Structure 1
């Protein structure tokens, strides 16, 4: 039960905060809005609206406080090393955030301590309000004659009852609901190290020593590849205890790497389009002889398998981790089909299927029923891990109508000018501390983005722009218009690498970009710190 508020925090152009809040420690209170521009501090964790996180949190807290009973010697050493020792990086004290700690601890608790191998007993154990009354279940699991399971329950996020599909039996799937910017990549690295060393030190086949990280697009992939390339993340940060580094033998395979995988110890990072494009075509026998004898063997038996998926299917263990996993929630999607095909091709199936997303919801707006960790944006803002989305200026006008490429600047002029003026204020303040604020303007169409960028570039003297063609960056996919609709087509191969590099390196001190105008190409997986103002010009 949450107690009465003990502190009041006034909210006036400054971020709401909880005094002495440390993101490395477990939250003991949270903010609740209380009137216009005002928040109150309420004791206790922010309640989760997911199916069973609230009860599971309490169990994990008690297990942690009791010094992790039931873990392997390997896991205990890792937990002590990660969270109980001081780490110095580049002369500064490094500490994992509590949200990252809670994420790996919760997975260890369910997988290693409780040894669940299916989501159904997890739901039955930890689901809230499991019984409506003495005789009726509030959460019901049904199964069709074909073995498909459905969860019938109340959805607090929608304030209604409904049903959801559950993963097939013996396919252990968990989801981590973590705000963008809260360090999901670090959690992935923690999981990889934990599983890998338990596999080789404890000799337990439940743990995997092969890992596949799947990104939804190239932008997310490039961010992940930058972190994991050549095992960089594992050596730069305190993931591997010093005495164990000689045992670390992970081969990292990125896009374009056609070399064979190791028999064990692989980390494959790729985007889903590359994976399902590499799936072997279904074999259709042409004659009765072919049907009896099957697919003809390769002529060159020393040649490695043709596709990445063929290579993956030869592994004897595998954990799949989906980044931005809200993309994979319908069974008809190729992403889902690719993972299921991989699961069915492995002798013992996947060891774990893990989803990471800030919004792990289905298309109907319901949270995945296999979410085990909930670290929402509001908590990340309170912890000062991410920036708060604040509306600091309103234009007192109705939204414009009948917009076209000829009048877009005139129609949106007040909004554009307001954003630029705010950016100029930021620029003066940030310049004193050696930082570069970036203004991001989100346009509806490519032509609109071009017109807005041209307008801003013409203000170069007022804005202090020395090279407006470089400092004002337009990023979109090329398009053609058909009637009233704009149809996107692939951007040119010549421009794509340059634009991706510029967008990816916005935070770099050498990067000259100060203002970006885009038609939403960068809407997902684009994690940068320097964007301080966002202007959305969409209906």
Structure 2
């Protein structure tokens, strides 16, 4: 994706490094001085601060309204979003903030950070004299079947973008409440590469009419349908950048691909009995990822068993490393990426019955109890040693405890 900010890089660097922030409003200048104060209760990482500064520069100096931050998974996008919400609230008189995400796992993690204005309080984003704004940044999480009153009453509204789609009555009602309100809003589209569909584009187009600002955040800006988001990319902070930090912000990744034919993945369609090798599944994988296939392919038990056995060897290595280097600060977790819900159920059953690992299955159909367990993975008191999900490797699993990932599919398509 093209970096729209490239022609302005040197001017931005001069502006940022001056620490005087010329050509912005006085309110914004005071806010940025507050944001970068050395005695903040919790400091932003340098790349997070830079992301906020670029958003401010693009909005106030370049007059751009629709921006995109390309930040690696695990790079702290939520704190950046929180800082920008605080800036828009304090400096631009915006009072309604819509946070959109692609799935319930991402939504649950955002809910943890924005519930009770936690992100604003933890980082001290609100300057003296404006701390009472935290009481206006109350969170409403859109839920299926619930009325729209929370959308009207709350300063921060969180939900899956599908909850605004016009193909269902609930989505029509939710979007109508936003469209008919007297106030302009700011839209934060987390994991903006995801959920490509005509309704996705139509919803963002409708929101454009009532939004004064939109920020897309993603680690992979090129969408699954091959298109790029329609916002302007202003910042790139990738895997190499995060690993070059001292200490590294994200873990180093080691890809282990066994070459033995005996562990090659094969799949069976239980409805027809058809069997395919992993190399024959490329087209089907693409259809599954795009939501175009309802076929419940499952990995054959023998190669699944062998792949799990290899993954558990790696997990034991990570356990030893956690004990010796991290002194038991976290419990390494095995994360299994299945291709369908039936496939995920089979993997969970095998992990529990044959390998005796306490395993959590998390899908879009998971109930609140299971989602709460997912939020607590790797924390003290969590009983789970493995988690199985469906095609959800990229969003919502950027947590330190996930130490080994087993893909029941190809690492990459052709």
Shared fold (TM-score greater than 0.5)? Answer: yes
Partner of 1:185: 78
What is the DSSP-based 3-state SS (H/G/I as helix, E as strand, rest coil) of the residue aligned with 1:374?
strand
Distance 1:98 1:402, change over 3 A: closer
Q: Which has the higher contact order (CA 8 A, sep 6+)?
A: 2
Residue 259 of structure 2 corresponds to residue 396 of structure 1? yes
Give the C-alpha shift of residue 232 in structure 1.
2.0
Give the C-alpha shift of residue 184 in structure 1.
1.2
Distance 1:258 1:533, change over 3 A: same
Runs of 4+ in 1 over 6 A off after TM superposition: 278-282
What is the DSSP-based 3-state SS (H/G/I as helix, E as strand, rest coil) of the residue aligned with 1:534?
strand
Give the C-alpha shift of residue 381 in structure 1.
2.2
Give the C-alpha shift of residue 74 in structure 1.
1.5
Q: Structure 1: how far apart are the matches of 2:22 and 2:299?
A: 67
Distance 1:278 1:218, change over 3 A: farther
Which of 144, 154, 157 aligns to 1:268? It is 157
Q: Structure 1: how far apart are the matches of 2:56 and 2:362?
A: 42
Partner of 2:188: 321
Deviations 1:463-498 (A, max 9, x none): xx5xx4xx1233457xxxxxxxxxxxxx4xxx5223
Q: Structure 2: how far apart are the matches of 1:250 and 1:474?
A: 33
User: Aligned runs of 1:39-118 on 2, under 5 Å?
Assistant: 50-66=2-18, 67-88=20-41, 94-114=42-62, 116=63
User: Aligned runs of 1:130-279 on 2, under 5 Å?
Assistant: 172-200=65-93, 208-248=94-134, 249-255=136-142, 256=146, 258-259=148-149, 266-276=155-165
Q: Is the 8 A contact 1:78 1:241 kept in 2?
A: yes
Which of 158, 175, 185 aligns to 1:309? It is 175
Deviations 1:32-69 (A, max 9, x none): xxxxxxxxxxxxxxxxx733333333221111122211
- For structure 1, the residue ranges without an aligned partner over 5 or more in a row are 1-48, 89-93, 118-171, 201-207, 283-305, 478-490
Q: Structure 1: how far apart are the matches of 2:98 and 2:229?
A: 24
Q: Report how many residues are paired.
A: 369
Which of 242, 246, 251 aligns to 1:387? It is 251
User: Aligned runs of 1:118-137 on 2, under 5 Å?
Assistant: none
Distance 1:185 1:107, change over 3 A: same
- Larger helix proportion, structure 1 or 2? 2
Give the C-alpha shift of residue 380 in structure 1.
1.7
Distance 1:521 1:360, change over 3 A: closer
Q: Structure 2: how far apart are the matches of 1:222 and 1:101?
A: 24
Give the C-alpha shift of residue 423 in structure 1.
0.9
Deviations 1:112-154 (A, max 9, x none): 134x25xxxxxxxxxxxxxxxxxxxxxxxxxxxxxxxxxxxxx
- For structure 2, the residue ranges without an aligned partner over 5 or more in a row are 271-297
The more displaced of 362-371 and 212-221 is 362-371
Q: Structure 2: how far apart are the matches of 1:71 and 1:355?
A: 22
| RMSD, matched Cα | 3.1
Normalization by structure 1: what TM-score? Answer: 0.62
Partner of 2:275: none
Partner of 1:482: none
Residue 335 of structure 2 corresponds to residue 440 of structure 1? yes
Q: Structure 1: how far apart are the matches of 2:28 and 2:36?
A: 12
Distance 1:403 1:329, change over 3 A: closer
Distance 1:440 1:234, change over 3 A: same
Q: Structure 1: how far apart are the matches of 2:242 and 2:354?
A: 37
Distance 1:512 1:360, change over 3 A: same
Normalization by structure 2: what TM-score? Answer: 0.79
Give the C-alpha shift of residue 342 in structure 1.
3.4
